[in-house]
Amino acid sequence: MEDKCKNVVVVGASGYPELAGLIDDINQINKTVNVIALLDDNTSLQGSEILGIPVTGDLDKANEYAADVMFIFAISSSKNRLVRRDIVRRLGIPAERYLNIIHPSAKVYSTVKLGYGCIIFPNVIINHNSVVGNFSVISASTTIACRCLLGEGVLFGPNTVALESSKIGSHAYIGAGSVVSEFGDIGPGGFVGIGSVVMKKVDPGNFIMGNPPAGQIPSLSVPENVIDEWNHQKNELSEMFQTKSKKLML
């Protein structure tokens, strides 16, 4: 994040209280985020204030702000994990206008490829050569090992672990205290319940829970284009890592 303080509008007013503490910690080190407004489609919130910040209107009002205003995407409920994708596309705001909000205690290694609009909470570790898609939310004390791939809009609960080379599909949710094994593969829109250990592939939109999980339950219909985009991204990453490995062997 640049040193210059940014005027910022938060998309999703109900998520602001949790986000506010993270922003305060960032600003105590270097004042970079100035929240000027909150937006929400919930009409009961519009016209109110949350922690002193006004809720100025619905989400579509985002397009009325000047080009120098940035955004934070704070809609992160597991229930609306795929709806988040629809909202981003509905607003049509360029991804680069969404800030990454990273707590000062988080360790994101220099070789990590981090998308736009990500929120990373305290004590997160994202290890070398991992990829994190746009609008992903990584909750406190989560560890992402080396060479992991997180698609767009992935949601991680606190105290979760993704081990080496695991792949977490777009808009998937990983519940608190869960572990994804090495080379784990969770399909787009997948839902891993709290405290689970994922040893096998999870199909798109399916729910699993347990250690080990008893089985998979379809819980969400994932559009074919989302699945196709994710498969393409996985293939690109695999080719990239294979190329790097060959270079190291020469």
pLDDT (tens digit per residue) in 159-208: 999 999 999 999 999 999 999 999 999 999 999 999 999 999 999 999 99
CATH tag, 6-75: 3.40.50.20
**Residue 79 contacts by C-beta under 8 Å, 6 or more apart in sequence?**
none
Residue 110, pLDDT > 70, answer yes
For residue 103, the model assigns a pLDDT of 98
The answer to whether 128 and 143 are in contact (CB under 8 A) is: no
Residue 239 has pLDDT above 80, yes or no: no
Q: Is the CB of residue 170 less than 8 Å from the CB of residue 190?
A: no
248-to-2, 145, 226, 242, 245 alpha-carbon distances in Å: 34, 20, 34, 10, 5
Picking from 171, 181, 176, 165, the residue whose alpha carbon sits closest to that of residue 234 is: 165
Nearest Cα neighbor of 144 from 171, 111, 117, 116 is 111
| Cβ atoms 74, 53 nearer than 8 A | no
Top CATH class, 101-220: mainly beta
pLDDT tens digit sequence for 48-83: 999 999 999 999 999 999 999 999 999 988 888 999
Q: Where are the domains of the chain?
A: 6-75, 101-220
Q: Token pair 């399916």 is at which residue?
A: 206
Domain 6-75 and domain 101-220, same fold? Reply is no
SS3 state of residue 4: coil
SS3 call for 174: strand
The residues near 31 (Cβ < 8 Å, ≥ 6 apart) are: 5
SS3 for 148?
A: coil
**SS3 label, residue 181:** coil
Tokens for 183, please give them. 């080379």
Q: Which helix (H) or strand (E) holds 15?
A: none
Cα 82 to Cα 172: distance, rounded to the nearest angstrom: 8
3: which 2 tokens?
């040193």
Per-residue confidence (pLDDT) for residue 249, from 0 to 100: 41
- Say if CB 107 and CB 193 are below 8 A apart: no
The per-residue pLDDT for 186 is: 97
Task: Express each pLDDT in 124-145 by its tens digit.
Answer: 999 999 999 999 999 999 999 9
Rounded to an integer, what is the distance from CA 216 to the centroid of its chain?
23
Look at residue 162 in the predicted model and tell me its pLDDT: 98
Q: What is the pLDDT of residues 11-40, one digit of tens each?
A: 999 999 999 999 999 999 999 999 999 999
Measured from the Cβ of residue 23, the count of other Cβ atoms closer than 10 Å reads 20
